[in-house]
Amino acid sequence: MADFIVRNDAGFEELHAAIREVFRESLFFERPTWDQYFMSIAQVVASRSNCVKRKVAAVVTRDRRIVSTGYNGTPRGTRNCNEGGCPRCNDLAPGGTGLLDCLCSHGEENAITQASYHGASLQNATLYTTFSPCLQCTKMIINSGLSEVVYNAQYPLGERSLELLKEAGVKLRQAGLGG
């Protein structure tokens, strides 16, 4: 038995219109917005994180092209967080404590330093990040010349960061996608 039956007593144009209506959902999908697209990429980049506490990533774009990506983890050439490389992340301390002892670089930090490492300017670029930036990353964002930050979820310790971005004229907006 067929899923759909199309009866047509008219011409070809009417038949074509009826078929298009039946298959509208499969023929005409909604493309993601640019925010959805780049935030989805940031979420995939976060899956590369080796941090055992929180997986965070950032994607830097200019003119709708990816300039750089970064995820949180221990510095290049050192033992990964999930292999015991960061004592703070591997202890049982509650979130938000012992942050000065953490050896992991943040996703935003790594995206910015990767751009620099490869000679890419971030002047007037946009940073998409899975969490709103901490104070240290905020300072790097401002000093690197980024003009906009789009974040998915609010980081619990970021109120001063939000104020500083505003004061520096860096546009900030939330484009929550869930997840």
Answer yes or no: 108 catalytic.
yes
Closest among 134, 84, 88 to 109, alpha carbons compared: 134
Closest among 45, 17, 29, 15 to 129, alpha carbons compared: 45
Residue holding tokens 């996703």?
107
Closest among 141, 145, 127 to 41, alpha carbons compared: 127
Is residue 46 a contact partner of residue 129, using CB atoms and an 8 Å limit?
A: no
Choose, from 21, 83, 108, 163, the residue flagged as catalytic: 108
Is residue 151 a contact partner of residue 131, using CB atoms and an 8 Å limit?
A: yes
Question: β-strand 126-131 against 148-153: which pairing, if any?
Answer: parallel
Q: How many residues does the chain have?
A: 179
Q: How far apart (Å, rounded) are the C-alpha atoms in residues 118 and 113?
A: 9
User: Which residues are tagged catalytic?
Assistant: 108
